[in-house]
Amino acid sequence: MATGCKSSRPLAPDGRALSGKRHHRGLIFVLLASVGVLAVALVAYWYSAKHSETAQTARPSAPSAIPISIAAVNRQNVPIYLTGLGTVQASLTVDIRSQVDGKLEEVRFTEGQQVRKGDVLARIDPRLFQAALDQARAKKAQDAALLAAAEKDLTRAKTLVLREAGTQQNLDQQLAKVDQLKASLDSDDATIATAQTQLDYTTIVAPNDGRIGVRLVDPGNLVRASDTKPIANLVLTRPSAVLFTLPAQLLDNVRAAMARGPVIAEAFDQDNQRKLSTGKVLLIDNAVDVATATMRLKAIFANEDDQLWPGEFVNVRVLLETRKNAITIPTAAVQRGPQGLFTWVVTSNYTAAPRRIEIGPSTGDLTVVTSGLADGEQVVTDGQYRLRVNALVRASKIVPEATK
C-alpha cells in the first residue's frame, strides 16, 4: 500500500507550506537581528567602561607619603678640629762625610741600622796622618832640647855680665834665642794638635743617635773632604716633626688656642683612616705664604714606635677647641637655598617644613647649629629633593648619631 510522505518545509499560518526562498529570508532576518543585539550590547559595555575610567581619572587621588631619612637634633660636646696635609721630617738630618782626604778603609755600619752617638761608622786610612803626628811630636822634642841648651847659655851669659866679663849684647841675644825657642814649642803644640785632629778624623763616628740610611760609598774608594756625595746619611726620628699647612684665615684661631695651652695634634695616614701618632703643635711659621694664602705649622711627635717616616705625607688633625653642649645635626641635613642655609624639619603631623638656620664649624659628619633648631627636633638627611612645603613624609630610615 502506498504511504504518503510528509513535506519537510515549514508551514505558513494558514497551514500551507512555505516556499524555499521565503524560508531563507527568515533565517537571514533572525541572524541580522542577533548581530544587532550583540552590537548594541558591546557599545553599551564600552560606553560604561569609558565612563567609569573617566570618573576614576577625574576623582582626585589621595597624596602618598614621601620616603625620607631623618635624624634627631642633639646636644653634645663637639671637638673642633682643623685638618691639613703635611710632610714628616726627621728632627735631625746629618750627612756622614769624610773630613780628610784618604782611602775609605772600613765601613762598620749596616744600612738601616739604629746607632748611638759616638758609635764608629767608618775608618779612613790613618797612616799618613799618624806619620804627620809623629813628625810634629819629634819637632817639638827637638825644639825642647834646643830650648834647654839656650836656657843654660842664657844663665851663663847673665853670670858673665854680673862679673863684667861678658857683654850686654850677648846676654840680649841669648834671651831672644830662648824666647824664640819657646815660641817654637808653642807652634809645635799647635802642629801636634792639628795632626792629632786630622788623625782623629780618620775615624768617623755618629754625631748623634739616629738611623743610618743607604750606603753611598763603598770601602776602597778615595774620599775627600770636598766631596758632595756623603758616605751615608743619619736621621733622628725620635722625635719626628711634621710640617703642614692650614688656611691663613684660621691664623687667629690657632694663635688663640696656643695661647690657652698646648694644642694637640694627631697624625693620620694618607687615607685619613689610621692614627699614627699624637703630639703637639710646636710653632707657627713667621710669615703667611701670600701665593697660596696658607700658613705653615710644625708639630712634634715622640714617634717611639717609628710610625712616622721622614718624607711621608700625612694628614694632621689639630684640636682647636671643644664646644660644650652644642646643638648638632648631620652635615647632610644642611641645605643651601636662595635665602641662605636651611634644613627640612619633620613636624608633629609628619609633614615637611623648611627652616632657616645658622651654623658653626663642622667636624666629621657633624655640623654645629648656632640658631634655628631646638634639641629633640627631627631633620631630613636624605630625600630632600622630592620635598615641598607641607608634604606628607614617611621616615624609611633613621640615621644614627653621626660620628665625630
Give the DSSP letter string of 44-65: HHHHHHHHHHHHHHHSPPPPPP
Return the amino acid letter for 167: T
Region(s) of the chain under CATH 1.10.287: 126-201
Which cell numbers hold the place of 253?
684661631
Query: Are the C-beta atoms of 186 and 134 separated by less than 8 Å?
Result: no
Region(s) of the chain under CATH 2.40.30.170: 81-89+236-323
Which residues make beta-bridge pairs with 115?
210
Say whether pLDDT at 151 is over 60: yes
| Helix ranges (DSSP H) in 65-167 | 127-162
Query: Are the C-beta atoms of 352 and 344 separated by less than 8 Å?
Result: yes
Whole-angstrom distance, CA of residue 255 vs CA of residue 253: 6
For residue 104, what are the contacts with CB-CB under 8 A and spacing of at least 6? 98, 122, 123, 124, 217, 218, 219, 220, 221, 222, 223, 231
Q: Which CATH number does 81-89+236-323 carry?
A: 2.40.30.170
Region(s) of the chain under CATH 2.40.420.20: 68-79+324-398
CA atoms within 13 A on the CB side of 393: 31
Query: Are the C-beta atoms of 335 and 384 separated by less than 8 Å?
Result: yes
**Across 376-383, average pLDDT:** 92
Phi, psi of 243 (to 5 degrees): -100, 120
> 134-148: b or e for each residue (b if 16 or more CB lie within 10 Å)?
eebeebbeebeebbe
| 39: confidence class by pLDDT, cuts 50, 70, 90 | low
Which cell numbers hold the place of 204?
768617623
Q: What is the pLDDT of residue 44?
A: 62
**Across 144-164, average pLDDT:** 85
What pLDDT, in 10s, does the model give residues 307-320?
A: 999 999 999 999 99
Q: Which CATH number does 126-201 carry?
A: 1.10.287
Residue 268: exposed, middle, or buried by beta-carbon count in 10 A (0-12, 13-18, 19+)? Answer: middle
**Across 111-138, average pLDDT:** 95
Whole-angstrom distance, CA of residue 380 vs CA of residue 389: 13
Query: Are the C-beta atoms of 277 and 267 separated by less than 8 Å?
Result: yes
Query: Are the C-beta atoms of 298 and 90 separated by less than 8 Å?
Result: no
Query: Which fold, 68-79+324-398?
Result: 2.40.420
What pLDDT, in 10s, does the model give residues 223-265?
A: 999 999 999 999 999 999 999 999 999 999 999 999 999 999 9
Q: What is the pLDDT of residue 342?
A: 95
Quote the distance between the C-alpha of residue 337 and its chain's center. Answer: 32
Closest residue by Cα to residue 157 from 142, 145, 168, 143: 168
What pLDDT, in 10s, does the model give residues 322-342?
A: 889 999 999 999 999 888 999
**Across 188-209, average pLDDT:** 95
Closest residue by Cα to residue 234 from 262, 253, 214: 214
